[in-house]
Chain A
Amino acid sequence: MSIDVKTAARVAHLARIQVDAQDLPELAGQLSAILGFMEQLNEVDVDGVEPMTSVTPMAAPLRADEITDGGIQERVLANAPDAREGFFSVPKVVE
């Protein structure tokens, strides 16, 4: 699978990473090379093989549905680039 400039732009958008138009051809080339490397996986017969979901056989642990944490608003916001009045602040989302 070769990635063209248009696909590279779409992937960059999906990943929410701004890429300048002039850098897209190089990016497309690099992504194509990596995907080309992955093509080897098509040689493997995977008929009837279950995809791995957990590398160690263990059931997801359950705990009682109780409040075990909270009341730490200041600590939650301590590293925010922009926190106001107890909230994270971002550019306007809804017009």
Chain B
Amino acid sequence: MGDLNKLTIEAARDGLRAKDFTARELTQSCVDAAESSKPLNAYSVVTADQALTMADAADARLTQGDAPSMCGIPLGIKDLFCTEGVASQAASNILKGFLPQYESTVTTKLWNEGAVMVGKLNMDEFAMGSSNETSCYGPAVSPWRKSGDDAALTPGGSSGGSASAVSADLCLAATGTDTGGSIRQPAAFTGIVGVKPTYGRVSRWGVVAFASSLDQAGPMAKSVKDAAIMLEAICGHDPKDSTSANMDVPDFEAALTGDIRGKKIGIPKEYRLDGMSAEIEALWTEGADKLKAAGAELVDVSLPHTKYALPAYYVIAPAEASSNLARYDGVKYGHRAELTAGDDIDDMYSKTRAEGFGDEVQRRVMIGTYVLSAGFYDAYYVRAQKVRTLIKRDFEQVFEDGVDMILTPSTPSASFGIGAMAQADPIEMYLNDVFTVTVNLAGLPGVSVPAGLDSNGLPLGLQLIGKPWGEAEMLNAAYALEAASGFVAKPEKWW
């Protein structure tokens, strides 16, 4: 029973039901892979004992028959999700030692279906980053390397541990979260599928908050079908999240027919950036041609406010983060600084936060504080929220004109070296999100699908953007694109 960890959810589900292997064997295979993957630094914790206990429960359920699709499927969970009694610290020193007394809604739904937790996954601190380098655990490393070069590359961020773990077969799939591209960019960098659902589709309850009006959790998986299966398991109304939509959850897997004849796919001209690499440009054109060959109609569209999405995002997200992160004050949980005689409560707050937050988090909290402060609120925050209205309106116009979904590159480049951006301006790192951040601002669903390798042998992804609540249709087009791309490359094992 070698290599069970390399299975897809779909294949594992069928194998478990056919009694070809047990959930315990499958889980053991993932635990072994996770425990022997230290150079990837993908896991912050491997919960081996808990995983095997959960696997045994799944086996009992499978024996009884009628087990859900996710029953017995070993998953990695991003460290941003609260998991009861298991360290959950959003890759921040300020939450060191925090053991949640409750379970997030997303993970509760997965465990109710019988899924198995292999462990918690590395990420950028509080999901703020695009390379996993802001993590208090140190960077997660991509299993991919440039051909003929053994330099460590980033799996992207913020869900970098999730991307690394799925790509390296250290679990069958993983949870991620996406505030500006944190599922789709790492998925693109590591040759996997990542879905950011419509805002409100997945409950945010029990997920450490970064920017509440933008955050959505979603699946990171080895195929579009796996992503559809897992997405269905985590969706649904949750009274504990007041922004959770009270809507029926479609059967996403059944929607994957691969038939996209007559669908109108928009190609937005504003995503053709000055100085964009020829490889990304070619990938995009080839992807569009493949969808056309499958019967879709290509339509040139315009999203005129695209260039203002990143600056609007970098007002709104830090503003929300500065208020969300006010709760880390050394009182209720996590780290508290050592105080000296005469220190008052303000000293406790400011020393605790200086010690507990890393540089990027401090920077964003301070930017957020500034743009919300008296005298600047209208000039920055209110203006950014007006621009956000215009960005959403751009998409609404395109959809009203009959376009069914939009095709873009996922990222402006392939993965880059760990440390390569160390001397760069913070804004250069922010540019990683240029193609993904509009989707969060407009509350839309988006999926990154692996579409090819660049000249260095590194994966590149294409993004499909759907209508609000249009995940089923979007995933079906992603399924057609996946089939047409025939992406089967895997990283060669070196870790």
How far, in whole Å, are A46 and B341 apart by their CA atoms in the complex?
52
Chain A 49-95 residues near chain B, CB threshold 8 A: 49-56, 58, 60-61, 63, 72, 75-76, 78-82, 88, 90-93
Indicate if the CB atoms of A38 and B239 lie closer than 8 Å. Answer: no
Indicate if the CB atoms of B331 and A52 lie closer than 8 Å. Answer: no
How far, in whole Å, are A3 and B390 apart by their CA atoms in the complex?
28
Known: A41-B311, A41-B387, A56-B443. A17 touches B426 (CB 8 A): no
Chain B 349-382 residues near chain A, CB threshold 8 A: 349-351, 353-354, 357, 362-363, 365-367, 369-371, 373, 380, 382
How far, in whole Å, are A35 and B311 apart by their CA atoms in the complex?
9
- Can you list 14 A-B pairs with a CB-CB distance of less than 8 A? A11-B373, A16-B350, A17-B353, A17-B366, A34-B427, A38-B384, A40-B308, A40-B311, A41-B384, A44-B308, A52-B389, A58-B243, A79-B101, A88-B331
Q: Is the interface of A mostly helix, strand, loop or mixed?
A: loop
Least CB distance, B381 to chain A, in whole angstroms: 8
Query: Is B81 interfacial (CB-CB < 8 Å)?
Result: no
Indicate if the CB atoms of B367 and A80 lie closer than 8 Å. Answer: no
The CB with the most chain B CB atoms within 10 A, among A8, A72, A80, A91, is that of A91
Indicate if the CB atoms of B390 and A49 lie closer than 8 Å. Answer: yes
Contact size range, A: 35 or more
- Report chain A residues within 8 Å CB of B426: 30, 33-34
Which residues of B are in contact with A by a Cβ distance under 8 Å?
97-99, 101, 198-200, 213, 239, 242-243, 245-246, 305, 307-308, 310-312, 314-315, 322, 329-336, 339, 343-351, 353-354, 357, 362-363, 365-367, 369-371, 373, 380, 382-390, 392, 425-427, 430, 441-443, 468
A1-30 near B? 1/0 per residue, CB < 8 Å: 001000110011111111100000001001
Indicate if the CB atoms of A51 and B200 lie closer than 8 Å. Answer: no
Cross-chain contact of B332 among A13, A14, A58, A88 (Cβ < 8 A): A88
Cross-chain contact of A18 among B344, B350, B367, B443 (Cβ < 8 A): B350
In chain A, what residue has the closest Cβ to B427? A37
- Report chain A residues within 8 Å CB of B97: 79
Indicate if the CB atoms of B353 and A34 lie closer than 8 Å. Answer: no
Indicate if the CB atoms of B339 and A31 lie closer than 8 Å. Answer: no
Indicate if the CB atoms of A56 and B198 lie closer than 8 Å. Answer: yes
How far, in whole Å, are A36 and B490 apart by their CA atoms in the complex?
41
Cross-chain contact of A49 among B344, B346, B362, B386 (Cβ < 8 A): B386
- Report chain A residues within 8 Å CB of B386: 44, 46, 49-52
Indicate if the CB atoms of B101 and A78 lie closer than 8 Å. Answer: yes
Indicate if the CB atoms of B331 and A41 lie closer than 8 Å. Answer: no
- Report chain B residues within 8 Å CB of A60: 242
Known: A33-B425, A56-B200. A17 touches B354 (CB 8 A): yes
In chain B, what residue has the closest Cβ to A55? B443
Closest 6 CB pairs of A and B: A55-B443, A51-B385, A79-B333, A81-B336, A18-B354, A46-B386
In chain A, what residue has the closest Cβ to B331? A88
How far, in whole Å, are A93 and B348 apart by their CA atoms in the complex?
11
- Report chain A residues within 8 Å CB of B385: 51-53
Cross-chain contact of A58 among B200, B239, B348, B442 (Cβ < 8 A): B200
Cross-chain contact of B345 among A17, A72, A78, A91 (Cβ < 8 A): A91
Cross-chain contact of A56 among B245, B307, B425 (Cβ < 8 A): B245
Least CB distance, B75 to chain A, in whole angstroms: 25
Least CB distance, A75 to chain B, in whole angstroms: 4
Least CB distance, A14 to chain B, in whole angstroms: 5
Indicate if the CB atoms of A55 and B99 lie closer than 8 Å. Answer: no
In chain B, what residue has the closest Cβ to A48? B386
Indicate if the CB atoms of A78 and B331 lie closer than 8 Å. Answer: no
Known: A19-B354, A50-B386, A51-B385. A31 touches B370 (CB 8 A): yes
In chain A, what residue has the closest Cβ to B198? A56
- Report chain A residues within 8 Å CB of B369: 11, 14-15
- Report chain A residues within 8 Å CB of B213: 54-55
Least CB distance, B249 to chain A, in whole angstroms: 16
Indicate if the CB atoms of A34 and B367 lie closer than 8 Å. Answer: yes
In chain A, what residue has the closest Cβ to B344? A91
Cross-chain contact of B382 among A7, A14, A27, A51 (Cβ < 8 A): A51
- Report chain B residues within 8 Å CB of A11: 366, 369-370, 373
How far, in whole Å, are A87 and B362 apart by their CA atoms in the complex?
29
Cross-chain contact of A17 among B99, B334, B350, B380 (Cβ < 8 A): B350
In chain A, what residue has the closest Cβ to B305? A44
Indicate if the CB atoms of A35 and B370 lie closer than 8 Å. Answer: yes
In chain A, what residue has the closest Cβ to B469? A56
- Report chain A residues within 8 Å CB of B366: 8, 11-12, 15, 17, 27, 31
Indicate if the CB atoms of A33 and B443 lie closer than 8 Å. Answer: no
Least CB distance, A66 to chain B, in whole angstroms: 13
Known: A17-B362, A44-B387, A90-B348. A56 touches B199 (CB 8 A): yes
Could you list 19 further interchain pairs (A-B, Cβ under 8 angstroms) beyond the known A30-B363, A40-B307, A46-B390?
A14-B369, A15-B353, A15-B362, A15-B365, A16-B350, A17-B357, A37-B314, A40-B311, A41-B387, A44-B386, A51-B389, A63-B239, A76-B101, A78-B101, A79-B333, A80-B331, A82-B336, A88-B331, A90-B331
